[in-house]
């Protein structure tokens, strides 16, 4: 029988719910999580799947968020603080099991939803924080929504037009999703560059060709490009991005390096080719979109685009939530090179 206790003006119902916490760099554990009863305009979500956003969550798990970025890197429903203990994450797919959404929100019991919530078995959030998953999108694939949001933002920042010749450096989840979006623009020629030959099969599933960095450097068709997007997380990739960009081209830096210092080669042809180096970060909408778009609209767009079965190739593994403490250490450590999106089932 659940026991209730009053904290402030909210009733906390003691339940067997659990949440994943990073306790210290490289160490995580599942901790009991009491839930409040949903209030007006709130819903309770029962989690079905979450996923490890390997790039960012690796930096968080290993304590590599620089102090200057503690506030900027907060997840929407984060608890605790960097470097730990901290409850972090932003990929959650679940089902509405209670609460009062109110108004014309369109959120109903039994509905499948996506939320930018940490790894937790159930949670209570404002109804405005969840976005319905389209019927044509399986819950298992919906875990890609947050990464696809990031890719959408990068494509907007790149300002790509029909017929542009483009390279995406880094065949991780976000890089491959960005390349997949770009190839749908009429007339574009899109190449993906990555040193890991195992990523070629995944790229092919998405209709993309993959080249190694050495092959790209020697390929005349990959010189003087209109746009280059860098998503490898490796400074060598940024160096190559600047080298492949043509006169007046735009290079979009999607990687975030945490506390790592990154040399940027601004000599040689950087000035004479009048290159633009533009950072892209999902926490801000591009200025030319901000007047009309908000984060909810962008997330709904990402979910609507996940109807393509080929995208399942980006999900390279799955484990049970109960095993997440060891899985997080494994996926962000020894298996990092082999992992794209790693799904967690509840």
Are 268 and 200 within one domain?
A: yes
Determine the Cα angle at 62 with ends 328 and 15, to 5°: 50
What is the per-residue DSSP string for 129-176? GEEEPPTTS-HHHHTTHHHHHHHHHHHHHHT--TT-EEEEE--SHHHH
Residues 64 and 172 occupy one common structural domain: no
The reply to whether 14 and 137 lie within a common domain is: yes
Give me the domain span that covers residue 12: 4-144+306-345
273 and 170 within one domain: yes
Last residue of a domain, one of 241, 257, 286: 286
Distance CA 74, CA 62 (A): 16
Cα distances (angstroms) measured from residue 292 to each of 129, 286, 287, 296: 19, 11, 10, 12
pLDDT value, residue 124: 97
pLDDT averaged per 10 residues, the chain (length 346): 43 73 97 94 97 91 93 94 97 93 74 98 97 98 98 98 98 97 98 95 97 97 98 95 98 90 89 96 93 97 98 97 97 89 98
pLDDT score, position 101: 67
pLDDT computed for residue 105 by the predictor: 64
Total domains in the fold of the chain: 2
State the pLDDT at residue 259: 80
134 and 166 within one domain: no
Q: At 219, which CATH number?
A: 3.40.50.720
CATH number, residue 17: 3.90.180.10
pLDDT, position 8: 47
């Amino acid at each position: 029988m659940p026991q209730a206790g009053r904290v402030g003006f909210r009733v906390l119902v003691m339940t067997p719910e659990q949440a994943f916490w990073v306790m210290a760099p490289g160490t995580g554990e599942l901790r009991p999580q009491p839930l409040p009863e949903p209030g007006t305009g709130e819903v309770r979500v029962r989690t079905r799947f979450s996923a490890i956003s390997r790039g960012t969550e690796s930096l968080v798990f290993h304590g590599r968020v620089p102090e200057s970025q503690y506030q900027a890197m907060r997840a929407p429903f984060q608890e605790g603080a960097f470097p730990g203990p901290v409850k972090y994450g932003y990929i959650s797919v679940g089902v509405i099991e209670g609460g009062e959404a109110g108004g014309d929100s369109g959120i109903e019991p039994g509905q499948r939803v996506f939320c930018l919530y940490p790894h937790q078995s159930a949670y209570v959030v404002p109804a405005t924080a969840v976005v319905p998953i389209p019927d044509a999108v399986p819950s298992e694939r919906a875990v890609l929504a947050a990464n696809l949001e990031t890719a959408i933002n990068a494509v907007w920042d790149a300002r790509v037009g029909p017929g542009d010749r483009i390279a995406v450096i880094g065949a991780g989840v976000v890089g491959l999703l960005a390349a997949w979006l770009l190839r749908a623009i009429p007339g574009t020629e899109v190449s993906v560059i990555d040193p890991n030959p195992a990523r070629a099969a995944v790229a092919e599933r998405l209709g993309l060709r993959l080249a190694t960095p050495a092959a790209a450097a020697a390929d005349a068709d990959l010189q003087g490009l209109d746009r280059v997007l860098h998503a490898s997380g490796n400074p060598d990739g940024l160096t190559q991005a600047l080298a492949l960009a043509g006169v007046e081209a735009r290079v979009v830096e999607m990687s975030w390096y945490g506390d790592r210092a990154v040399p940027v080669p601004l000599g040689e042809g950087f000035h004479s080719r009048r290159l633009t180096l533009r950072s892209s970060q999902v926490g801000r909408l591009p200025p030319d979109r901000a007047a009309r778009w908000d984060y909810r609209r962008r997330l709904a767009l990402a979910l609507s685009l996940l109807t393509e079965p080929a995208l399942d190739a980006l999900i390279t593994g799955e484990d049970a939530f109960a095993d997440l403490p060891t899985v997080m250490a494994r996926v962000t450590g020894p298996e990092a090179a082999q992992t794209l999106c790693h799904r967690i089932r509840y």
